[in-house]
Amino acid sequence: MSIKRVLSGIQPTSDSFHLGNYLGALKQWVALQDGHDAFYCIVDLHALTMETEPALMRKRTLASAAQLIALGISTDKSTLFVQSQVPQHNQLGWLMECMAGFGEANRMTQFKDKSSKTGADSVRVGLFTYPMLQAADILLYQADLVPVGEDQRQHIELTRDLAGRFNTRYGQTFTIPDGYILKTAAKINDLQEPTAKMSKSSGSAAGVIEILDSPEVNAKKIKSSMTDTGSEVRFNEKEKPGISNLLTIHSALSGATIAALENEFAGKGYGDFKGVVADVVVEYLAPIRSRALELLEDEKHLIDLLHKGAAKARTVAAGTLETAYKNLGTVA
Ligand code: ATP
Ligand code: LTN
């Protein structure tokens, strides 16, 4: 059995990834590099579907790369690259737009959600065609598996439909990918609003643990996280959303089970528990942050690593695009 190909992407839309991104998605990326042929893409072209600022775009793209490497993506094991450095994404993106029906694209809930927030007049056409570019990201690499969060299920289904339609109409061209949606991936909530997910766009600054924040800031955020009623450290998302969230975080980072943690903190108060969670988080994130900051100090080296990834990605992508064009009957 040949080794499976994995592809995933993340938008460079924040100065730092947060703990939710790491525990919900990026930790899986790191795990999948072993035993798979992994391609990981910083999807800067997708980020253009919302308002961007050039200096921030550059800074965030490099910060994303540095963090991915710092948290364990190895540029020897995996192919890590920036989407805009591989022009085949746009080229296959167009072919996918020509395969997709308008009604089909119009049913994408991410588009409906994001466009209703932006308002119909300022929504960009690129936000509408976003899923077809995402399909191209995946199909160019003949990916077998696509690790993503539950929110991306519909886009993966669309990708499968478009690939199948193309193959049926023009001959075998693309591998039909499977989504790799982990039910067990931790869902991390906002520290101040523990019933809402930790999120870079809608979260409160005090409720989001950023990988690039200083240990002091992150420890303080945990210690001043929302306090539930009662005094017992118990997992109960309805009655104790704040403590349950902290238990999830501790467990995901330390590997201890929730039950073991409940035992360990039996008879102790919220204050003691928060102090320990703060230590666990800081101890885990501090080396990742230092490594990321170190990588950002040598921009040239970081950019070289990304160029190396893009060169490898272009070779694979060019092969798929050539087959697609040939099967479509274009004159070479
Ligand atoms: P936005 O606020 O713009 O929606 P986000 O902070 O939710 O952004 P995304 O860029 O949408 O982050 O997500 C990147 C990856 O991180 C996705 O695979 C998503 O499922 C995962 N993720 C994001 N937030 C969380 C969270 N709170 N818990 C677990 N996983 C998360
Ligand atoms: N839409 C995804 C990001 C994304 C992606 C991809 C994920 C763009 N291209 C290809 C997997 C495969 C998101 O918003 N998380």
Specify the residue with its C-alpha closest to ligand 2, atom 5: 9
* Site of tokens 């119009």: 106
Beta bridge partners of 240: 236
pLDDT of residue 206: 94
Largest Cα span, the chain: 75
DSSP code for 254:
H
CA 195 to chain centroid:
21
Report CA(230)–ligand 1 centroid distance (Å).
30
Q: Ligand 1 pocket: which of 199, 244, 251 to mutate (most atoms <8 Å of CB)?
A: 199
Q: In what order do the strands lie in the sheet with 145-147?
A: 79-82, 36-42, 4-10, 145-147, 178-180
Mean pLDDT on 56-74: 98
Per annotation, catalytic residue among 4, 59, 77, 200: 200
114 is catalytic: yes
Residue 203 CA, closest ligand 1 atom number: 2
**Structure-block tokens of residue 313:** 């990605």
pLDDT of residue 182: 80
Specify the residue with its C-alpha closest to ligand 1, atom 18: 149
Q: Residue 269 class from Cβ within 10 Å (0-12 exposed, 13-18 middle, 19+ buried)? A: exposed
Q: Are 47 and 56 in contact (CB under 8 A)?
A: no
Report CA(15)–ligand 1 centroid distance (Å).
14
pTM for the model: 0.95
Please determine, for residue 76, whether its predicted confidence score (pLDDT) is greater than 80: yes
| Residue 178: strand, helix, or coil | strand
- Locate all alpha helices (DSSP H) within the chain, ordered by sequence: 19-21, 27-32, 44-47, 54-70, 88-99, 102-106, 109-118, 125-139, 153-170, 215-223, 241-254, 258-264, 270-297, 299-328
Of the candidates 205, 206, 195, the residue with the CA atom closest to the CA atom of residue 245: 195
Residue 186 CA, closest ligand 1 atom number: 29
pLDDT of residue 121: 81
| pLDDT tens figures, 6-55 | 999 999 999 999 999 999 999 999 999 999 999 999 999 999 999 899 99
| pLDDT tens figures, 233-266 | 999 999 999 999 999 999 999 999 999 999 999 9
Beta bridge partners of 4: 36
Per annotation, catalytic residue among 4, 59, 77, 197: 197
Cα 17 from Cα 19, distance rounded (Å)? 7
Please determine, for residue 164, whether its predicted confidence score (pLDDT) is greater than 80: yes
Please determine, for residue 179, whether its predicted confidence score (pLDDT) is greater than 80: yes
DSSP code for 22:
I
Please determine, for residue 222, whether its predicted confidence score (pLDDT) is greater than 90: yes
187 is catalytic: no
Cα 65 from Cα 26, distance rounded (Å)? 12
Cα 167 from Cα 238, distance rounded (Å)? 47
Specify the residue with its C-alpha closest to ligand 1, atom 15: 21
What burial letters (b/e) apply to 3-22, b meaning 16+ CB within 10 Å? ebbbbbbbbbbbebbbbbbb
* Residue 304 φ then ψ, to 5°: -60, -45
Beta bridge partners of 6: 38, 145
| Residue 34: strand, helix, or coil | coil
Of the candidates 39, 60, 61, 57, the residue with the CA atom closest to the CA atom of residue 48: 57
197 is catalytic: yes
| Residue 189: strand, helix, or coil | strand
**Structure-block tokens of residue 202:** 């809608």
- Kindly report the number of other CB atoms within 10 A of residue 291's CB atom: 16
Of the candidates 237, 230, 228, the residue with the CA atom closest to the CA atom of residue 197: 237
Give the binding-site residues of ligand 2, using a 6 Å CB cut-off: 7-9, 11, 43, 46, 134, 137-138, 146, 148, 152, 155
H/E stretch holding 230 reads none
